[in-house]
Amino acid sequence: MIKNRKQFSAWVIGLLALSLAGCSEAEVLPATTPGDDPLANDPTRREIILGFQNKLNIKTVTRADAPIATTEENEITSLDIYVFSSDKEEGPYTYQERFCYRSDGATIPNATKIILTVEGDNVALATLRPKKGLFTKFYCIANQPKLLKSGAEYTNFVALEQSSPGADYNIVTKAGIPTETDFLTFTTPLLDPTEDTDILLTPLPMVGSYSPALDLRDISMGSRTRINMTLSRIVSRFDIINDEKLSHLTITGVSMGHGRKGVTFFPVVPVEDADPDKTLITYPDRDFDGANANKGTQTGAFYSYPSPIADKGYLIIKGKYALNQTDIPQEVSYMVEFEQSVAGTGGYIEVKPNHRYTVRITDADPFKLDVNITVSDWTDGGDFEYQPENELAIGTLTGVGATVIASNNTATVSPDETEYFSIPFTSNSEAECSIVYTSSAGGSAEWLKTEITPVTRAGSASYTCKVSKADSYSGNLFPKAIILLRSKAGREESQIAVKADVGVPGIAAAAVTPSEPDAANTYTAGSESPDVITGTLNMQKQANAGTTSSMKLTVTAKGGSRIVGLPAWLKADKTEGHNTKAIDYTLTLDQNAKDFPTGSFPANAAATFEIQNLSDVAKKVTVTVNVTEAP
C-alpha cells in the first residue's frame, strides 16, 4: 500500500471548503436563472453549486499559460454525481439520487439532467438541487458513467424514502440501494488484456467527493450553498522523451507489464482479482504517435492504472533500432522497470494516480535501453500547492495479540480477537482515520473500527489511531480493508491494509445422508500441506440419466466460503455461504450436460474446482473430481 501520498486528491476531505469569497454556508447568494430545470422552484430541494477548480475543458477557453494537462486530458464528456443521505450525521448513508451531465445533452434514465458552465478560465460549475431533510454526501465521477460491482455492471440504484422532511422526527423509512459502504467498493470497467483496443485514452476518468455530511435537514432554508473541490485523475500518465536521431531508436508502441485491470473510485485502490494469479495483466500495445513522437517529448504517450511497488510493474517499449541509416532496422522490445533516479542513486517507485512519469531515453542498443524516470504531481496550477506545515507522518505500527505487521503498511489480524494494532502519527492539523472495504461479498461486513486519541506531549501534535474489531459486528465475513489516515488541512494520507487470518476451509461429507444414491459418492481429504491443500470427490454415473447422483459436503470456514470453477456437468445448489461457519453444499451430476465424461470409466481427474475462503481467496482447497460408473 501507499504511505504518505502527497497526491492531488479530490477525495481528501481537507481540500473541500464550504466557502465562497468568505461567505458562510448559509449566506443567501444572488438568485440564479432557473432555465429549464424543473426542480428550480421546488421548495423541498436545496440549490448546491459544485465548483471544480481544474481548468476543465467544458468549452473552448484561451489561456496564456501553458497547461500541464492537455486539452483532451481536461475534457469532461460526462459527469455523474451520486448523492447519499442519512437521518444521522454518523450514518449509515444510502443512495438518494443521481445527477448527470452529458456533453451531447443526453438524458440518463432515473437521473436528473444538469449542465456545466464555466466561471472565468479556471472553474467549472455544476448546479444541482438535491432533496432536503437529511445529512447528505456527494460523490462525483467524471468520464466514467459505467460502474462495476464484483466484475458486473451495476445499475440497481433505488432511492431512499424519508418520513417527514423538515420535521425533528424525520427518519429514513426505507434505505436506498446501494449503501455508501457498498458503493465505495465499486470499480471501473476492467481492462481485458486479450482485446487489442482495450487501452486507456482521453477523456480520462476523474473523481471528487464532498464526504463530510452537508446538513440539509432544515427544509425552510432556501439559500444556495457552494462547495469547491478538485477532480483528481484516477490514472497515471507517462511522457516519453526520445530523439530517434540521437538514440537510433524509433518507438512504435508502448504497453505495461504486471499492471492492474482497474481501480475503485473512493479511494483510488487497484483492483485485486478473486484469483491472485489473474490480478496482474499485460496491457495491450498502444501506438506511439503524436506530434512529437520520436522527435522530443511526447506527452500522454501512455496511461495506466496505479501500480503498487509489490507488483513489480514495468513499461514495455517496442520499436525499431538501426545504428546507421544503411542498416536494416531491427525489431526491438525493452522492459523498463519503474525506477527513479535521484541525485545519482536509484530506487523503485510506486506508480500513483494523478501523477506524471517522464521517461527520458538516454541511450539504446539492440539489447538494452538506458532511461531516467522523473515523477511529478499532475496538477493544473498553483491553487492547491502542498503545504509542508500540514504534513502528516506515521510512526511504527504496534501490534496487539496475534497481529502481524508487515512493512508498516499491512496488518494481518485474528478475527477471534478484539484488539489489533495502533498507528502513532503526528499532524499539525486535524486528522481523521477511516475505513474502506475493498470487497464485501454478500452485503456489508463492517468488521473494523478506528479511534483517534491525542498523545500529551509538550510542543508536539501527536496522536494514536487505534484499530480494533467493531463491538457490534457478529458476522462471519472479514473482507480486506484499507485504513485511511488523512490530514484535513493538507493532502497527506497513509494507507494500511488489514487482512483477517481466516484459514483454509474445512471440508467433509455431511453427517446425515451425504450421498444419493446411498454410498455411491464419497469425499476424501487429501494433502494437509500449508501451501497446497487438496481433496478428492468421487461421483458415480448412473445407468439411468434421470436418476439423481449427488453428494452433500459440509464446509466450515470462518470468513465464509464459495465454490469456483465447477465444470458444466457438476451443479451446485449454491456457490457461496456466509451466514454461519458451517455450510452444506449439494453437488449433483448432470449426465446430459456438455463435456460430461464419456468412454471408459473410471474417469480419474475428470475436472477440478476450488472451495475458497470468501474473505481470503488465497486460502483454498483444490478438489479433484473422479467419475465412476454404477455397477
Using CA atoms, how far apart are residues 92 and 394, in angstroms rounded to an integer?
Answer: 29
Q: Return the CATH number at 535.
A: 2.60.40.10
In a domain, 569, yes or no: yes
Contact present, 523 and 621 (Cβ < 8 Å):
no
In a domain, 388, yes or no: no
Q: Are both 360 and 281 inside the same structural domain?
A: yes
Grid coordinates in use for 501?
A: 487470518
- pLDDT value, residue 23: 28
In a domain, 387, yes or no: no
- pLDDT value, residue 58: 66
Using CA atoms, how far apart are residues 193 and 163, in angstroms rounded to an integer?
Answer: 49
Q: Are both 191 and 243 inside the same structural domain?
A: no
Domain edge (last residue) among 500, 515, 541: 500
CA atoms within 13 A on the CB side of 396: 2
Could you list the mean pLDDT of each consecutive 10-residue stretch along the chain, which spans 631 residues? 34 28 32 54 78 63 43 82 91 93 88 84 81 91 92 92 86 94 92 92 88 80 76 90 90 94 90 84 93 90 89 91 82 84 55 86 85 70 33 83 83 93 82 71 73 68 89 86 71 76 92 93 84 90 87 93 91 84 92 87 91 87 93 80
Burial of 85 (0-12, 13-18, 19+ CB in 10 A): buried
Grid coordinates in use for 229?
A: 473541490
Domain edge (last residue) among 500, 534, 565: 500
pTM, to two decimals: 0.61
- pLDDT value, residue 175: 94
Domain edge (last residue) among 217, 233, 249: 233
Q: Are both 248 and 341 inside the same structural domain?
A: yes
In a domain, 14, yes or no: no
- pLDDT value, residue 26: 29
Residue whose C-alpha is closest to residue 323's, from 368, 364, 358, 285? 364
Q: Give whole-number Cα distances, 467 to 12, 341, 445, 497, in Å.
A: 20, 36, 16, 11
- pLDDT value, residue 256: 94
In a domain, 452, yes or no: yes
- pLDDT value, residue 344: 46
In a domain, 525, yes or no: yes
Q: Are both 551 and 511 inside the same structural domain?
A: yes
**Count of residues making up the chain:** 631
Cα 345 to chain centroid, rounded: 33
- pLDDT value, residue 4: 37
Q: Are both 493 and 529 inside the same structural domain?
A: no
In a domain, 4, yes or no: no
Q: Are both 341 and 478 inside the same structural domain?
A: no
- pLDDT value, residue 115: 86
- pLDDT value, residue 40: 66
Residue whose C-alpha is closest to residue 497's, from 409, 436, 414? 409
- pLDDT value, residue 53: 66
Using CA atoms, how far apart are residues 26 and 252, in angstroms rounded to an integer?
Answer: 56
Q: Are both 342 and 437 inside the same structural domain?
A: no
Q: Are both 288 and 358 inside the same structural domain?
A: yes
Using CA atoms, how far apart are residues 254 and 585, in angstroms rounded to an integer?
Answer: 47
DSSP 205: P
Q: Are both 466 and 548 inside the same structural domain?
A: no
Q: Are both 461 and 550 inside the same structural domain?
A: no
**3 state DSSP class of 15:** helix
In a domain, 47, yes or no: yes
Q: Are both 31 and 64 inside the same structural domain?
A: yes
Q: Return the CATH number at 353.
A: 2.60.40.2630
- pLDDT value, residue 571: 94
Range of the domain at 517: 506-629
Q: How many independent structural domains does the chain possess?
A: 4
Q: Are both 247 and 218 inside the same structural domain?
A: no
